[in-house]
A and B are shown apart, each in its own frame.
Chain A
Amino acid sequence: QITLKESGPTLVRPTQTLTLTCTFSGFSLNTSGVGVGWMRQPPGKALEWCALIYWDDEKRYSPTLRSRLTITKDTSKNQVVLRMTNMDPVDTATYYCAHRPYRKGPYDYWGQGTLVTVSS
């Protein structure tokens, strides 16, 4: 049974760096083809894809967020970490991590999401 759970601060000040952790179980990021992605969703708005990391440490970033994002994995802890610098109120959103079973595949299991508010 695959599960994922996001954790991190619920409130971030403008200009600060956000660090989110996705802790998962039921699969390994050592398995060929597997990836974990991050998406976000501002309140009342559509989903936005942010970043992705694969089992072989290949990383992909949204072109619009690339300069601010870093994604890393710790396979021993079954965790994927997303860092986003220079946070702004427009970054207020629910952030989700999700499992991708193979390259360019769908996101078949999602975490419950974590709401991050950016405010002074």
Chain B
Amino acid sequence: VMTQSPGTLSLSPGERATLSCRASQSVSSSYLAWYQQKPGQAPRLLIYAASSRATGIPDRFSGSGSGTDFTLTISRLEPEDFAVYYCHQSGSLVGRTFGQGTKVEIK
């Protein structure tokens, strides 16, 4: 089971965002990804293998972590970054493989 915190993050443009994803069992870093989803749109892959940016993703997005604790950091929020973010583990089918999401909203 993947658990994300906080549920909602209220920040201003230019601020740093730190999103957490915790697994109930250890997850290989190779199998941890982060997605961004805006209203009415499909999810977009941001980070895979815990820390590798997908093609075209700005370097203000970074991922880190290992074992059961993973973090997505947005160094300086741009207006287009306000969205919902999901972590996902693909190493096991047991339990919820997507986190429940963190909404980053404009303060």
What number of residue pairs across chains A and B have CB atoms under 8 A from each other? 54
- A46 and B86: CB pair below 8 A? yes
- A106 and B98: CB pair below 8 A? no
The one of B35, B55, B91 in contact with A104, judged by C-beta atoms closer than 8 angstroms, is: B91
Q: How far is the CA of A106 from the CA of B93 in the complex (A)?
A: 14
- A110 and B43: CB pair below 8 A? yes
> What secondary structure prevails in chain B residues at the interface with A?
loop
| 17-49 of chain A: CB within 8 A of chain B | 39, 46-49
- B90 and A46: CB pair below 8 A? no
- B42 and A110: CB pair below 8 A? yes
Known A-B contacts A62-B93, A63-B94, A108-B54; A46 and B42 likewise in contact (beta carbons under 8 Å) = no
B interface bracket (residues with beta carbon within 8 Å of A): 20 to 34
The one of B90, B94, B96 in contact with A106, judged by C-beta atoms closer than 8 angstroms, is: B90
Identity of the chain B residue whose Cβ is nearest the Cβ of A4 in the assembled complex? B42
- Contact code string A88-105 (vs B, CB < 8 Å = 1, else 0): 000000001000100011
Residues of chain B at the chain A interface (Cβ within 8 Å): 30-31, 33, 35, 37, 42-45, 48-49, 54-55, 86, 88, 90-91, 93-94, 96-101
9 A–B contact pairs at CB < 8 A?
Answer: A39-B98, A46-B101, A49-B97, A49-B98, A96-B43, A106-B48, A107-B88, A110-B42, A110-B44
